[in-house]
């Protein structure tokens, strides 16, 4: 049996939540809950076959009721920020929740990561879990009844493949991502500043100030601390006296990908302590790198861990932040009846230390 279902607790609405354990032929294991489609844990081997849980998360369902850092969360309808918490679609202005100062962050504080999803199990050689949710017209302030499906597949190539699809009866925003925090040494191993990161990107989208709303510019990374065109330790430049890093107290920016809408390798993370690697493949136009600059989680976390500043890194594949307000950014708005599909793959391996 490659998928095991177990009770995970009772939701605030009094419904039963479940935890699904997927395991591939190599022993790699993913645990996903239908409450919020949250990725709870991911056990990955090192070069000597020792397994560690490489994503931050909670050991109890109650942790996901609040989850201020969005640990492991499925984020939608829109990931990242929208200026002034409003979007204009078909000439109509839709007011969203102001949950990040005057702006909107990740759709809503009561977003998809706090809804109970319907689950379907596909238990085969490569186990898959499909989670479905019907988002009603007006939820989070967005127009349209939106049917969302997410399929998590654990391949025998040690990939966690995530496919998002959505179709709405009105024009709406559809910009989904997974907000997992990765630490390839193990979720309770401290900061990731020694992890080395490579990005297939020569440009990023600068932000105006600490509110992290893009200026609309697409800026070159060359000769700046934002340059990951050659693999380097995350911590090498993170404390540099560089305005963009000062705004976010570290990396919390969107990099521009050159994949032309095709699923291609866009990032690689390497941990010199364990030798573990993680490659990221996606067809999304951007990737948000967040180095847990404000991470401070102590309650309900797994194995009694304490998660602090820069204890993990997020690699969130998505449309650019505030894309609907910049004509030079690819739009995340889909047409009524048009099925939108995107894929992101996290592939794990090892490299000699």
| Per-residue pLDDT in tens (0 to 9) along the chain, 353 residues | 589 999 999 999 999 999 999 999 999 999 999 999 999 999 999 989 999 999 999 999 999 999 999 999 999 999 999 999 999 999 999 999 999 999 999 999 899 999 999 999 998 789 999 999 999 999 999 999 999 999 999 999 999 999 999 999 999 999 999 999 999 999 999 999 999 999 999 999 999 998 999 999 999 999 999 999 999 999 999 999 999 999 999 999 999 999 999 999 999 999 999 999 999 999 999 999 999 999 999 999 999 999 999 999 999 999 999 999 999 999 999 999 999 999 999 999 999 87
Q: Which of 106, 179, 195, 311 is catalytic?
A: 179
Annotated ligand binding at 252? The verdict is yes
Contact 131, 37 (CB under 8 A): yes
pLDDT tens, 214-268?
Answer: 999 999 999 999 999 999 999 999 999 999 999 999 999 999 999 999 999 999 9
What pLDDT was estimated at residue 263?
Answer: 97
- Per the annotation, the verdict on 351 as an active-site residue is no
Tally of residues, the chain: 353
Neighbours of 16 (CB within 10 A): 12
Q: Which CATH architecture has domain 3-350?
A: Distorted Sandwich (2.70)
Give yes or no for a contact between 37 and 74, defined as CB atoms under 8 angstroms apart: yes
Cis peptide leading into 246, omega within 30 of 0? no
CA distance 124 to 132: 20
Q: What is the pLDDT of residue 1?
A: 54
Distance separating the N- and C-terminal Cα atoms of the chain: 35
User: DSSP string of 88-124?
Assistant: EETTEEEE----BTTBEESS-TT-GGGSBPEEEEE-S
346 torsion bin: left (phi>0), alpha (psi -120 to 50), beta (else): beta
Q: Is 316 known to be catalytic?
A: yes
Residue 30 has a pLDDT of: 98
- Side-chain-facing half-sphere of 41: CA atoms under 13 Å: 23
Annotated binding residue 328: no
Distances (CA, A) of 140 to 66, 187, 340: 17, 31, 19
**Residue 151 burial (10 A CB sphere; 0-12, 13-18, 19+):** middle
To the question of whether residue 180 is assigned a binding role by annotation, the answer is yes
Helix (H) or strand (E) holding 64: helix 63-66
Q: What is the DSSP letter of 245?
A: H
Half-sphere exposure of 84 (CA within 13 A, CB side): 8
What are the residue boundaries of the structural domains of the chain, listed by start?
Answer: 3-350
| Span 300-328, pLDDT tens digits | 999 999 999 999 999 999 999 999 999 99
- Phi/psi-derived region of residue 113, left when phi > 0, alpha when psi is between -120 and 50, beta in every other case: alpha
Measured CA to CA, the distance from residue 172 to residue 295 in angstroms comes to: 31
Q: Mapping DSSP to helix (H, G, I), strand (E, B) and coil, where does residue 44 land?
A: strand
Question: Could you tell me which residues are beta bridge partners of residue 177?
Answer: 75
SS3 (DSSP) at 140:
helix
41 three-class SS: strand
To the question of whether residue 181 is assigned a binding role by annotation, the answer is yes
Q: What is the DSSP letter of 257?
A: P
Nearest CA to 342 out of 180, 163, 167, 179 is that of 163
DSSP letter at 78 equals B
Q: pTM score, two decimals?
A: 0.97
Residue 175, annotated as binding a ligand = no
Catalytic site residue from 52, 97, 297, 316? 316
């Amino acid at each position: 049996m490659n998928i095991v279902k177990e009770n995970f607790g009772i939701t605030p609405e009094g419904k039963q939540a479940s935890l699904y354990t997927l395991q591939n032929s190599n022993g790699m294991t993913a645990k996903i809950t239908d409450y919020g489609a949250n990725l709870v844990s991911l056990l990955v081997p090192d070069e000597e076959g020792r397994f560690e849980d490489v994503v931050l998360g909670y050991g109890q369902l109650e942790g996901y009721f609040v989850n201020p850092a969005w640990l492991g969360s499925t984020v939608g309808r829109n990931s990242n920020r929208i200026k002034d918490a409003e979007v204009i679609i078909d000439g109509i202005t839709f007011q969203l929740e102001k949950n990040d100062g005057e702006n909107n962050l990740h759709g809503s504080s009561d977003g998809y990561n706090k809804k109970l999803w319907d689950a379907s199990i596909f238990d085969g050689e490569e186990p898959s879990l499909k989670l479905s949710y019907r988002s009603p017209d007006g939820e989070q302030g967005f127009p349209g009844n939106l049917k969302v499906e997410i399929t998590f597949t654990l391949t025998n190539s040690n990939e966690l493949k995530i496919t998002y699809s959505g179709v709405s009866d009105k024009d709406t925003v559809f910009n989904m991502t997974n907000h997992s925090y990765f630490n390839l040494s193990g979720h309770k191993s401290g900061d990731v500043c020694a992890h080395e990161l490579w990005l297939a990107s020569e440009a990023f989208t600068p932000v105006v100030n600490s509110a992290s709303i893009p200026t609309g510019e697409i800026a070159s990374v060359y000769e700046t601390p934002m340059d990951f065109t050659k693999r380097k330790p995350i911590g090498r430049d993170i404390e540099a006296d560089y305005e963009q890093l000062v705004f976010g107290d570290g990396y919390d920016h969107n990099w521009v990908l050159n994949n032309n809408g095709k699923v291609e390798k866009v990032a690689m993370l390497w941990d010199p302590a364990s030798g573990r690697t993680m490659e990221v493949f996606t067809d999304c136009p951007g990737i948000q790198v967040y180095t847990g600059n404000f991470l401070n989680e102590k309650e309900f976390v797994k194995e009694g861990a304490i998660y602090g500043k820069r204890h993990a890194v997020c690699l969130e594949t998505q449309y650019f932040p505030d894309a609907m307000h910049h004509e030079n950014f690819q739009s995340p708005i889909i047409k009524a009846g048009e099925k939108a599909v995107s894929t992101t793959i996290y592939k794990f391996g090892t490299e000699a230390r």
